[in-house]
A and B are shown apart, each in its own frame.
Chain A
Amino acid sequence: MKNHKKDFPIFQNNPDLIYLDSAATSQKPRVVLDAINEYYTSYNANIKRGIYPIAEKATAKVEEVRKKVAQFINAKSKDEIIFVRNATEAINLVAYSLASTSASWRISRGDTIATTIMEHHSNFVPWQQLAIQKNADFLVLDIDQNFKFQISNFKYQIKNAKILAITHVSNVLGTINPLKKMINDLRTVNADLIILVDAAQSVPHMSVDVQDLDCDFLVFSGHKMMAATGIGVLYGKKTLLSKMQPFLYGGEMIREVTIQNTSFAKLPHKFEAGTPDIAGIVSLGAAIEYLNSTGIENVLKHEIMLIKYALEQLKNMQELTIYGSTNARKRGGVISFNLKGIHPHDVAQILGEMEICIRAGHHCAMPLHNRLGIPASARISFYIYNEEQDIDKFVNGLQKVQKMFR
């Protein structure tokens, strides 16, 4: 794989930077930054309303990116792609809309809402709160000792569930859930189950095909896949989205407004009230082009190589615990760990002083950390600009930390 580092200005501005926190947010390549700049400097205008050329251009660009996103995740139609702020907002949109929609799948008292112990708070708290609000049962699927789900253990409860929200790749364990098989099994148990997939840690790193997965909703954030912060995507099956109540009301989402009533715009605009983050959408388009030119399968290959290499290096370290599978092929580009007797924040702080950026804390997954019986962990995560020598420097840094605390 070619050296990607040179495409990212941050590494020219910080030549010694070792960035190992891409699961939190990714760095941005020059092509993405240029695309944002080009929008603001040559065709900045609001979309959908203006009839002059630069407004037409901005509108066309947004719809072009929508099409690109649809192709990237193999959605049936670009109308199934809703632009939101991030994965969190996408999940909240679905939760709020399901709470207020008057359809058979509306959540009410006594229904079951299911999620898993592996979730980021963004795919946990909205469902927990919805369950509390509606007096519904809140079911949290647990992992086994191999950090996997055994759907057969939950058959009875899943049978009565209305919705299951599940992550594709864990941001802590790196587990890649075999969703195609899981969703197939789930549908056999409960044909009416609505399945939402949090793909924030998968879409940036591997090929994701929503039709093949057969999920009902899938969400992800642009900033984790080299686009700007402030742009995210909700994919939803048209049959569901078209029946759902809008989440936000306002301009650009209506067809006709009278004093008595409002009729809403068609999909996807029904869910896009107000002026969107146009520059963010443009940046997402550029990021997808960059990923397409690299080949998403090459991104995954590169990360598997890095994970293998890192696991190999870390294996030899004393007093280090890794959480999650040690099989590089079965995990995403994330490794969480702890050094005995040293708090992860101290590890991250000392590495930070060496310009090695890692994450420490509960990674917005407190229920999972409680389940693992640890208050916090340290985490490294990779992307296409990382190299083996980043891992060497990181391991060297860890050894220095251990020496300091000895």
Chain B
Amino acid sequence: MDFSKIYREEILEHYKEPLNFGTLEDFDMTSRQFNPFCGDEIVIFVTFQNDKISDIRFQGKGCAISVAAASMLTEHAKGRSKEELTKFTEDDMLSLIGIDVSETRKKCVFLALGVLKDCLVQNAKF
């Protein structure tokens, strides 16, 4: 179907078969956030090695946009340093997902990003 600009093939593929979906038995950090607007929920598990993300998984339920965003973000984050990811902005997230979304749906795009950022900050405390 080509009428939809948002639901292009890549987004739907990530939704149907998300990358890094699941949990980690041994993880260094985890965080969970909830989007009351759509009832979406994303949990991320991370392990670090030398300040770099060595492994990452996410779980949750949500719309195609939030799941695709989590899939793409976790894939992007793998092997990157905390410092690099701390600088990763909402605009970077929009470019990563590569679709033009409305204001209301931005919350779906940014849900996983918020969870990942939380994992980075929390870890800094230890």
Taking Cβ atoms with an 8 Å cutoff, the residues of A that contact B are 342-346, 349-350, 353-354, 360-362, 366, 369, 375-376, 400, 403-405
B61 A361 Cβ-Cβ under 8 A:
no
Task: Please name all residues of chain B whose beta carbon is closer than 8 Å to the beta carbon of A349 when the two chains form the complex.
Answer: 6-7, 105
A-B contacts, 7 of them at CB < 8 A, read A343-B62, A344-B38, A353-B6, A361-B37, A362-B39, A404-B1, A404-B4
Cβ of B41: which chain A residues have Cβ within 8 Å of it?
375
Known pairs A376-B38, A376-B39; A353 contacts B4 (CB<8 A): yes
**B7 close to A375 (CB less than 8 A):** no
Expressed in whole angstroms, the Cα–Cα distance for A405 and B4 within the complex equals 12
A283 to B41, CA, bound (A): 42
Residue of B nearest to A374 (CB): B39
Q: C-beta contact mask, B50-66 vs A, less than 8 Å → 1, else 0?
A: 00000000000111110
Q: In this complex, what residue of A is CB-closest to B5?
A: A353
B interface, by DSSP: helix, strand, loop or mixed? loop
Asked whether A343 and B7 contact (CB < 8 A) given A375-B38, A405-B12, the answer is no
B3, A346: Cβ atoms closer than 8 Å: no
Most buried by B among A342, A360, A376: A376
Contact of B38 among A353, A361, A400 (CB under 8 A): A361
Closest 6 A/B residue pairs (Cβ): A375-B39, A343-B63, A376-B39, A345-B63, A346-B64, A404-B1
Task: Decide if B1 touches A345 in the complex (CB within 8 Å).
Answer: no
Nearest Cβ on chain A to B62's Cβ, whole angstroms = 6
Question: Is B97 at the interface (CB under 8 A from chain A)?
Answer: no
Contacts of A405 in B (CB 8 A): 12, 15-16, 64
Name 20 extra pairs, CB < 8 A, besides A349-B6, A353-B6, A404-B12. A343-B40, A343-B62, A344-B63, A345-B38, A345-B108, A346-B7, A349-B7, A350-B4, A353-B5, A361-B38, A361-B39, A366-B36, A375-B41, A376-B38, A376-B39, A400-B1, A403-B1, A404-B4, A405-B16, A405-B64
Contact A369 B7 (CB under 8 A): no
Given the complex of chains A and B, what is the CA–CA distance between A366 and B36 in angstroms? Answer: 9
A390 to chain B, nearest CB (A): 19
- On whether A354 and B38 interact (CB within 8 A), knowing A343-B62, A349-B105, A405-B12, the answer reads no
Name the B residues within 8 Å of A343 (CB-CB).
38, 40, 62-64
Q: How far is the CA of A361 from the CA of B7 in the complex (A)?
A: 19
Contacts of B37 in A (CB 8 A): 361
Would you list which residues of chain B between 1 and 38 have a CB under 8 Å from chain A?
Answer: 1, 3-7, 12, 15-16, 36-38
- Known: A349-B105, A354-B3, A405-B12. Is A369-B64 also a contact (CB below 8 A)? no
Q: Hey, which bits of chain B sit against chain A, CB under 8 A?
A: 1, 3-7, 12, 15-16, 36-41, 61-65, 105, 108
CA distance A362 to B40 in the complex (A): 11
Smallest CB–CB gap between B40 and chain A, Å?
7
Q: How far is the CA of A350 from the CA of B2 in the complex (A)?
A: 11
Q: A404 to nearest B CB, angstroms? A: 5
Q: How distant is the Cα of A385 from the Cα of B76 in the complex, in angstroms?
A: 49
When distances are taken between beta carbons in the complex, the residues of chain A under 8 Å from B4 are 350, 353, 404
Which residues of the other chain, A, contact B63 by a CB distance below 8 angstroms? 343-346
Whole-angstrom CA separation of A404 from B15 in the bound complex = 12
Query: A residues within 8 A CB of B61?
Result: 375
A353/B39 in contact, CB under 8 A: no
Q: Could you tell me the distance in whole angstroms from the C-beta of B29 to the nearest C-beta in chain A? A: 25
A345 to B35, CA, bound (A): 12
Q: Which residue of B lies closest to A360 (CB)?
A: B38
Identity of the chain A residue whose Cβ is nearest the Cβ of B62 in the assembled complex: A343
| In the complex, chain A residues whose CB is within 8 Å of the CB of B38 | 343-345, 360-361, 375-376
Cα of A96 to Cα of B1 in the assembled complex, Å: 53
Report the nearest A residue to B101, measured CB to CB. Answer: A349
Do B3 and A353 touch across chains, with their CB atoms under 8 A apart?
yes
**Bound-complex Cα distance A376 to B34 (A):** 13
How long is the Cα–Cα vector from A127 to B20 in the complex, in angstroms?
A: 44
Contacting residues, chain B, for A350 (C-beta < 8 A) = 4, 7
Smallest distance from the beta carbon of A340 to chain B beta carbons, Å? 13
| A342 CA to B1 CA, complexed, in Å | 16
Given contacts A353-B4, A403-B1, whether A346 and B39 have CB atoms under 8 Å apart is: no
B1 proximity list for chain A (CB < 8 A) = 400, 403-404
Q: How far apart are A142's CB and chain B's nearest CB, in angstroms?
A: 21
- Give A341's nearest chain B residue, CB to CB: B16
A369 / chain B contacts, CB cutoff of 8 Å? 39
A274 to B117, CA, bound (A): 47
User: How many angstroms from the CA of A291 to the CA of B1 in the assembled complex?
Assistant: 42
Most buried by B among A349, A369, A404: A349
Please state if B40 and A346 are interface contacts (CB–CB under 8 Å): no
Chain A residues contacting B65 (CB-CB under 8 Å) are 345-346
Please name all residues of chain B whose beta carbon is closer than 8 Å to the beta carbon of A403 when the two chains form the complex.
1
Name the distance in Å between B43's Cβ and chain A's nearest Cβ: 15
Instruction: Give Cα A49–Cα B105 distance, bound, in whole angstroms.
Output: 48
